[in-house]
Amino acid sequence: MKDVSKQRTIALISHGGAGKTSLAEAFLFLTKVTSRLGSVADNTSVLDFEPEEVKRKSSLGSSFHSFPWKKHQITFVDTPGGENFLNDTRTVLYGVDAAVVLVDAVDMVKVSTEKGWAFADSLKLPRLVVINKMDRERADFYKALESVNESFQSPKAVPVAIPIGAEDSFSGLVDLLSGKAFLYDSAGKPTEGPVPGDMADKVAEYRDKLIEAISETNDALLEKYLEGEELGQEALEETLGKAVLDGLIAPVTPASGLKLIGLSSLLDLIVSRLPSPIERGTVGGHPLDDPAGDLGREPDPSAPFGGLVIKTVVDPFAGQLTIFRIYSGTLTPDSGFLNVNRGQKERFGQLFALEGKAQKAIEEAGPGDIVAVAKLKNTLTGDSVADENSPIVFWASQPMEPVVSFAVEAKVKGDEEKVFAAINKMTLEDVTLRLTRNNQTKEMIISGMGQIHLDATLEKIKRKYNVEVILKSPKVAFKETIKGKTKVQGKYKKQTGGKGQYGDAHIELEPLPRGEGFIFEDKIVGGVIPRQYIPAVEKGIVEAMAGGVVSGNPVVDCKVALVFGSYHDVDSSEMAFKIAGSMAFKKGFMECQPTILEPIMLLTVETPDDCMGDIMGDISSRRGKLLGTESHGRKQVISANVPQMELLSYSSSLTSMTGGRGSFTMEFAHYDEAPAHIRDKVIAEYKPQEEKE
């Protein structure tokens, strides 16, 4: 049975381009898991293996691997840093015990790093910070450190090592607690040496800052520090370890993944400072029948099995691969478990450890391991799996809401069924991808996290399922209504030589308050219309409303009263009265000041303080009505009602206004009357179609 105390399960997080994948490839090469240093730049990466990732030279999804280091086993998740794929990052963070946050020594902290840090905050994950790419031109460790401290207040980012040189002269680092300098050769091997003479003052300065930061997390140590007592190395090491675990300090160290400089020191930090599953402690959840309940599971290999699905991959040939983190117990091949959320038992054959694109069959897995099984029938991302005699629902990430939507159709006529089947399969592995049908416009709508997200999805669909898809701006689901009252007659009379058709209906038509729908009232007295024909009149009116009168959009919010009429003993029929009802409604509708209603969305925008004015001005320019603002730390949350047609391209506009720092959600609020120019345009666009029909 494995020694869980020697397990480290971590995620690498940052914005795109900070070097997560290159650093991870360097880990694998340095520990001899791979025989060559894989590179995103030349398409030799072990971790970015999807063709869409190779094309963009960027991670579009999380990948997994592991390696040994000094009698420890480190399992890592290389997460995507692009804005369009951050839901994947947030989801897999539920499967790790700590995070290694990369900051580019040239580009500093960017938006995706801030969001990744916030995700880690929400899960109280201990963190290390790596100032990466120290070998690049204009690399500046201290400026990057300043950027980190400006962006993040907690945990406090404190250097535990500082670089020797920068740019081309970056050659190693000085460990501040031990006072030792390490120079690295081209193979990433460190050699201990003296601290360069010109760095003595800098080392002393940052060592004092580190000791002060460590002392501030422990009252007894702080008292000694303030009294000027010498603090022992062992006490400092122990207190630093606890401060990292408690989320008070995030150690900072320099590195160059490309040149293998600082990596062995970083790996030492990972095994010495970041927690094992045992140190992280009980994993929280709740009983299936009590979401508000409190239930936990200890990371014990002998405990009942429990785990959480953090990713699903669907392949048209290999089938479905389910990836999950084991929180407790021990799992072996040819066994099974209970999908607690769905109440379904699952069986599987082989158990796999993930090695980038490849999977390696293993004989056992326990707490801290991220493993995969194939061809489960009912289990998806976010599901809890457990021993059927000891079920538990672990806390899991809720999918982020999509922010862009397009109408989707097959490029080749006749491929519609294949296209929609392919998209539905993609939604199994990508929970932020949605496929819905707009019943009014008759369009299939695909929604996602951004243009890049949808483009990459369609490329995958073409590659995996050999079908091509076209995206178009979705139609807005307008509606029609009236503002006036009238009383009209609808009379249908047709004589064909035999039995004729006769129906005569008089109706009163008036508007209802917004959102009231439709009311039909029977006011017939004296039998002027026989009872069996009255439902036919209503049916004719309802069908006329569904097809619209002036724009082809459904009619809502009106009341119709059937007040009078006449019939013929021989020629009257349900069909005749249905047509009469339809004729009366259409005639009356045109006499009641017809107008167009447009859907209004509740838009909620989270934006940095300095962008607030631009956002509010932009909302006003989109015919929006501001509802209010709230402060959330250094960000503002703006709520507004905005017409849907003004938000079709809002995602890209918000990114432009905030430099990617803003986010938004929107949901349907209500319908409201469209202004005259919108009304006239919608009606004008319908006329050619009406005439053609």
Sketch out the chain's domains with CATH numbers: 4-280 (3.40.50.300), 283-394 (2.40.30.10), 404-472 (3.30.70.870), 480-592 (3.30.230.10), 597-677 (3.30.70.240)
Q: How deeply is 186 buried, as exposed, middle or buried, from its count of CB atoms within 10 A (0-12, 13-18, 19+)? A: exposed
Region of poorest pLDDT, from 122-136, 385-399, 492-506: 492-506
| pLDDT of residue 574 exceeding 50 | yes
- Are residues 9 and 97 in contact, defined by beta-carbon separation less than 8 angstroms? yes
The predicted pLDDT at position 326 comes to 98
Element (DSSP H or E) covering residue 268: helix 263-273
For the segment 132-138, the average pLDDT, to the nearest whole number, is 96
pLDDT in tens, 504-514: 999 999 999 99
Average pLDDT (335-362) is 95
Find out whether 454 and 406 touch, Cβ atoms under 8 Å: yes
Could you identify the residue written with the tokens 């061809």? 375
Edge-to-edge strands of the sheet including 161-164?
Answer: 161-164, 172-175, 180-184, 190-193
Indicate the residue type of 73: Q
Give per-residue pLDDT as tens, 580-605.
999 999 999 999 999 999 999 999 99
Instruction: With cut-offs at 50, 70 and 90, classify the pLDDT of residue 490.
Output: very high
219-246: pLDDT as tens digits: 989 988 888 888 888 999 999 999 999 9
pLDDT band at 693 (very low <50, low <70, confident <90, very high): very low
Q: pLDDT category, 691, cuts 50, 70, 90?
A: low
Average pLDDT over residues 372-389: 95
Q: Residue 402, class by beta-carbon neighbours within 10 Å (0-12 exposed, 13-18 middle, 19+ buried)?
A: buried
Confidence (pLDDT) at 635? 81
- Residue pLDDT, tens place only, 3-62: 999 999 999 999 988 999 999 999 999 999 998 998 877 778 899 888 888 888 888 899
Position 649 pLDDT exceeds 90 = no
CA nearest to 14, candidates 86, 116, 87, 128? 116
pLDDT of the residue at 433: 94
| pLDDT tens readout for residues 94-127 | 999 999 999 999 999 988 999 999 999 999 999 9
pLDDT tens per residue across span 407-428? 999 999 999 999 999 999 999 9
| pLDDT of 641 higher than 50 | yes
Say if residue 462's pLDDT is above 90. Answer: yes
Task: Pull the structure tokens for residue 256.
Answer: 């160059």
What pLDDT shows up at residue 692?
47
Residue-averaged pLDDT of the chain? 93
Spatial separation of the C-alpha atoms in residues 451 and 447, rounded to whole Å = 10
CA distances from 227 to 223, 235, 236 (A): 6, 16, 16
